[in-house]
Structure 1
Amino acid sequence: MNDLVDLFVVGGGINGAGIARDAAGRGLSVILCEKDDLAEGTSSRSGKLVHGGLRYLEYYEFRLVREALIEREVLLNSAPHIIWPMRFVLPHSPQDRPAWLVRLGLFLYDHLGGRKRLPGTRALNLATAPEGAPIKDIYRRGFEYSDCWVEDARLVLLNALDASQHGARILTRTACIAARRENGVWSIDMRDGRTGAVTTVRARALVNAAGPWVNDVVSQIAGRNATRNVRLVKGSHIVVPKFWEGRQAYLVQNHDKRVIFINPYQNDLALIGTTDIPYEGRPEEVCATTSEIDYLIEVVNRYFKRQLTRQDVVHKFSGVRPLYDDNADNPSAVTRDYIFELDAPEGAAPLLSVYGGKITTFRKLAEHALEKIQPFFPQMKKGWTARAYLPGGDLPNADFEQFLGQLHNEFPWLSPSLLKHYARSYGTRARQLLAGAGGEVDLGRHFGADFYEKEAAYLIETEWAVTPADILERRTKHGLRLSGTERKAFDEWFAGFMAKPHKSAAAS
């Protein structure tokens, strides 16, 4: 491979996938390379929210909050199968932030972003409102506001898929090992993680969206001196059985000014997080510690009648947020905004490095990134993603329930649980997955829960899945439901399937 492309993107997290998608849709030729799986790092280990960042108002991040609130509605319209509204109940603790400050923050939150589709804030009497039933009686007052849930890893996958459908080449398990400027372009060496083969491509511009490894790419791969610093902050989450009735989530304040989300997860589970701890280790080795688990349990137990213990934890995960280092003392106060560093000596091919960012603002970040390199591509088309659907997101009127009804009419033999799983995971692409199936027997081998062979094959063939974990932990959450025996059986099936000739997105 000795191609010359317009843009080479390093990093298959949300920022890299978003930039590749936007650039490909503007007519640029694009290669994206990711050393692991898409979304394997930070982008699949988030709190899984598309939100404005209510607490960022405390740090006067008004521009970031406004942009995020506007993007919340843009994304809700573009992918209503994997993004949906959620109501958050905030029990008020007079020991922490005063009620007037909370009310002011929620008023700004309602109005900064030109909210259109989501309901506004309301005050709650927790003693009488059903949402207050699981809360301890000492908390009598509360508030309720809107934000959105997102299947974070699938958001990355859909951006990569859309980029591919616009002509981009997506290379997973492929590490960028060297990049040098030669004859006005970048010459880039890549190593295939499965075969060890090294290939070279040439690109007119290089985008470094490597997240926690952004400065490693600048210094060790491109041989440049970074003028910005990235600050690694660890965020850990735990998963427990859901312990309240209703679809609402909760946001609670702690004595240290952190806020903790307690969100419904996978129907009968709860996702609790996150911590904010400075991290100096290798990003690949991040894990949730016992002290973090105890911290999260303690915060929940401060507010809820149902007291959690370590034995309630069925799953845990931790991610490293690569924040732009603004020298804030408190990790929770470090900006979630993003900035760019453009290295473009006169006549030389540009290197654009991305620092910071958050899932909610990835699309806007991608637009701003392409504005930075616009002078090098004067024929590049204008931005297009603000009104575009992500793959599977073209639901009529962005109405998920209406679409669910349509899908039920087309596949009445699907159980309600399986129907919702396919609709939520794939949107209108569910019809492609289910093509040719007239009954459950046509879904192939049943691995457990709502997991069948037909879905596994579809993910290998269309979404770059090359290991069992790619499917069980990122493209789906079936791993939470399978027993050890069922998981072993799936691993054996997967090995056999991969050994046979088959269509694979990773090979295309």
Structure 2
Amino acid sequence: MTMRGEIECDLLVIGGGINGAGIARDAAGRGLSVVLCERDDLARHTSSASTKLIHGGLRYLEHYEFGLVRKALREREVLLRVAPHIISPLRFVLPRLPGGRPAWMIRAGLFLYDRLARRELLPASAALRLDKHEAGAALKGGCTQAFAYSDAWVDDARLVVLNALDAKERGATILTGTRCAEVVADGGAWRARLEGRHACTVRAKVVVNAAGPWAGQVAQMGEAGQAGRSVRLVKGSHIVVPRLFSHKQAYLFQHADGRVVFAIPYQGDFTLIGTTDLAYAGDPAAVAIDDGEVAYLCTLANQCFRKQIGRKDVVWSYSGVRPLLDDGTDNPSAVTRDYLLEWAPGAAPMLHVWGGKITTYRKLAEHALEMVAGRLGKAAAGWTETAFLPGGDIAATVAEISPASFEAFLASFRALHPWLAAELAQRYARSYGTRAVRFLAGTAGLRDLGELVAPGLYERELRYLVDVEWASCADDVLWRRTKQGLRCGPDDRIRLERWIEAYRAGTSAPEPGAAAG
């Protein structure tokens, strides 16, 4: 669809990552008229390249960032309640490796981690004997002492999509495949020229620059500069390999160079290993893992796990560029993950979003709307702390959510759709929550899902992703709306791309063919 003419709104949000989507959602829920533009797909860049964790940031305690850790731990509790389908508790095992941090330091850090913020949904940390615990079997010998603590796992790309979906359902206009080519001050407001899939002009009272790695460019485009601020680009890469252990706990390893690396159970059959932290100076859109990073992550895994891996075992890798506040720290791993919201100079209000992390996105958005509402003279109370994200209403209220809530919902979902294979039912429930009940309405058997276009991907789900969740190409589906790319080959991807193109064009979709099974 191509839009023409001029749109007037209270707020134009530039950037469709987690911060932009979160701000658009909060603003729409406060009754503001909102337009969000994203030049690519939602969560196409940094926001889908995280370690998939909602966490306080245990290692930030070493840098004395107690305020950030407290804020993140509080948000961990909030997000577990409002999105219990795509966010779930995860227990971490921290083996004490030779040459690592002393036991007293780990105990002190975990003591603080347990107590910096109120904790109701997750168990406290504990000491472990690896020779008597299931997590020890996958590790090399020589390490018997370990500690366990709790954080949470998240489907990061879906978190972005669900924020955008809620924003849309509350009245926001979400324009993907649409870049802001120009934004100029115009009589105390802003006039923005958008190009791409939804070409149009937007006149906005306030602009929020949530462009992540491109925030500096947007600031310059608005002729407002960066108010003395600079963003440091830090590259983080991950690899996915066939699973190295069968239990449901994750590991955190302390590398001899001072960095920490996670090994996380991923999508049932795999282990996610990451991340690296490297200074980055290239095009954020072109970031990719390099041979040195693959070797670094494989070497660390091989130092810890009995099962050895190499480049040939990497089934998928991804990289992202984190736009972090430049605090002058030489070590990229030590650069603060906190955020700063700052008004640009000038008569027309533009709010810059500098830095941030996925765990604190909701608080960042709430803070941003307090600032924006003040400028607009439209004060309204914050509301997102107790409002489910789409599909998250698996209990009657946020207060009723517990670690057992999702399992209870899954059981009821499977009872409603007993003909769904267990793996597919699990994926639908985990990805869509109660929205899966909606898009399966009227189905009574597998035949009602339509053709199998690619492994695990039936037409019924694909139509929902295209019609409701802005999926416009195969990669949107395979790597952001789902992770079925891990189970699809090149021919599957081509077939899926052709199906989406035909469906979006309103023509008959091509037959998937037998190879999709």
TM-score by shorter chain over 0.5: yes
> Is the contact between residue 127 and residue 137 of structure 1 (CA under 8 Å) also seen in structure 2?
no
Q: Quick one: distance in 1 between partners of 2:212 and 2:108?
A: 34
Aligned to 1:54: 58
Q: How does 1:358-507 map to 2 (within 5 A)?
A: 358-396=357-395, 397-398=400-401, 399-500=405-506
Is the 2:178–2:199 Cα contact (8 Å) retained in structure 1?
no
Structure 1: how far apart are the matches of 2:164 and 2:379? 20
- Per the alignment, residue 506 of structure 1 pairs with none
Cα distance in structure 2, aligned partners of 1:4 and 1:418: 43
- Give 1:171's aligned residue: 175
Q: 1:479 deviation in Å?
A: 1.1
Q: Structure 2 CA distance, aligned partners of 1:394 and 1:225? A: 43
- CA shift for structure 1 position 332: 0.3
1:448 and 1:481 in contact (8 A); partners too: no
**Does the 8 A contact of 1:278 with 1:331 survive in 2?**
yes
Which residue number in structure 2 is paired with residue 248 of structure 1? 249
**TM-score scaled by length of structure 1:** 0.96
Kindly indicate whether residue 129 of structure 2 is the aligned counterpart of residue 119 of structure 1.
no
Q: Distance in 1 between matches of 2:449 and 2:7?
A: 40
Among residues 47, 51, 63, which one is paired with 2:67 in the alignment? 63
One-letter code of the match for 1:374? A
1:287 paired to 2:293: no
Using the TM superposition, give the Cα deviation of residue 378 of structure 1 relative to its aligned residue in structure 2, in angstroms: 2.2
Task: Tell me what 1:505 maps to.
Answer: none
- How much has 1:374 moved relative to structure 2? 2.8
Comparing 197-206 with 255-264, which one deviates more in the overlay?
Answer: 197-206
The answer to whether 1:329 aligns with 2:333 is no
> CA offsets per residue over residues 362-384 of structure 1, 9 Å max, x none?
00000111122232122231100
In the alignment, which residue of structure 1 is the partner of 2:14?
10
Corresponding residue number in structure 2 for 1:224? 224
SS in 1 for 2:120: coil
Query: Which stretch shifts more, 474-483 or 205-214?
Result: 474-483
What are the residue-to-residue correspondences of 1:69-80 with 2, within 5 Å?
69-80=73-84
Output the CA distance in 2 between the equivalents of 1:352 and 1:341.
Answer: 6
AA matched with 2:304? Y
Tell me how far 1:155 sits from its aligned partner. Answer: 0.1
Offset, 1:259: 0.3
- Residue 6 of structure 2 aligns to a residue whose secondary structure is coil
Tell me, what secondary structure is at the counterpart of 1:6? strand
**Paired amino acid for 2:224:** R
Farther off after superposition, 466-475 or 258-267: 466-475
Would you say the 8 A contact 2:42–2:160 is kept in 1? yes
1:231-270 to structure 2, matched below 5 A, reads 231-270=232-271
How far did residue 198 of structure 1 move?
A: 4.1
- Cα offsets for 1:448-488 (capped at 9, x unmatched): 43211111111001001111111111001111111222222
1:22-47 per-position Cα deviation (integer Å, ceiling 9, x unaligned): 01101111000000000000000100
Distance in 1 of aligned mates of 2:140 and 2:187 = 68
Aligned residue identity for 2:96: H
CA distance in 2, matches of 1:185, 1:33: 17
Q: 2:109 aligns with which of 89, 93, 105?
A: 105
Say if 1:382 and 1:344 are closer, same or farther in 2 by CA, change over 3 A.
Answer: farther
**Corresponding residue number in structure 1 for 2:303:** 302
Deviation by residue 1:188-244 (Cα, 9 ceiling, x = unmatched): 11102x4xx74211010000000000000000x212221210000000000000011
Secondary structure at 1:97's aligned position in 2? coil
Structure 2 counterpart SS, 1:437: coil
Contact 2:180/2:193 (<8 A) preserved: yes
Question: Does structure 1 retain, via aligned residues, the 8 Å contact 2:29–2:383?
Answer: yes
| TM-score normalised per structure 2 | 0.94
Shift of 1:311: 1.2
CA distance in 1, matches of 2:263, 2:507: 44
Distance in 2 (CA, whole Å) between partners of 1:357 and 1:112 is 20
Structure 1 gap ranges (5+):
503-508
Q: Deviations along 1:58-96, whole A, 9 cap, x unmatched? A: 000000000000100100000100000010000002402
Is the Cα contact below 8 Å between 2:455 and 2:492 reproduced in 1?
A: no
Q: Offset of 1:436 from its aligned partner?
A: 1.7
Q: Distance in 1 between matches of 2:28 and 2:506?
A: 32
Contact 1:263 1:270 in 2 (8 A): yes
Determine if contact 2:56/2:72 at 8 Å carries over to the other structure.
yes
Contact 1:28 1:380 in 2 (8 A): no
Contact 2:37/2:175, CA 8 A, preserved across alignment: yes
Looking at structure 2, the residues matched to 198 and 81 of structure 1 have their Cα atoms a distance apart, in angstroms, of 35
Secondary structure in 2 matching 1:3: strand
The amino acid that maps onto 1:199 is C
Supply the distance in 2 between the matched residues of 1:10 and 1:138 (Cα, whole angstroms): 52
Q: May I ask how many residue pairs the two structures share in their alignment?
A: 496
| Maintained 8 Å contact 1:417/1:450 | no
Is the CA contact (8 Å cut-off) linking 1:27 and 1:380 kept in structure 2? no
Q: For 2:199 and 2:298, locate their aligned partners in 1 and report how far apart those are by CA, in whole Å.
A: 47
Given candidates 82, 86, 94, the residue that maps to 1:82 is 86
The answer to whether the Cα contact below 8 Å between 1:228 and 1:341 also exists between their aligned partners in 2 is no
Q: Which residue pairs with 2:514 in the alignment?
A: none
Deviation at 1:344, TM superposition (A): 4.7
Q: Secondary structure at the match of 2:132?
A: coil
- The answer to whether the 8 Å contact 1:16/1:209 transfers is yes
**Structure 2 counterpart of 1:277:** 278
Could you tell me which residue of structure 2 aligns to residue 339 of structure 1?
A: 340
| Whole-angstrom CA distance in 1 between matches of 2:140 and 2:485 | 33
Which piece of structure 1 moves more, 263-272 or 335-344? 335-344
Contact 2:224 2:345 (8 Å CA) reproduced: no
- Is the CA contact 2:277–2:332 (under 8 Å) kept in the aligned structure 1? yes
Partner Cα distance (1:175, 1:448) in 2: 31
The CA distance in 1 between the partners of 2:10 and 2:413, in whole Å, is 40
Partner SS, residue 127 of structure 1: helix
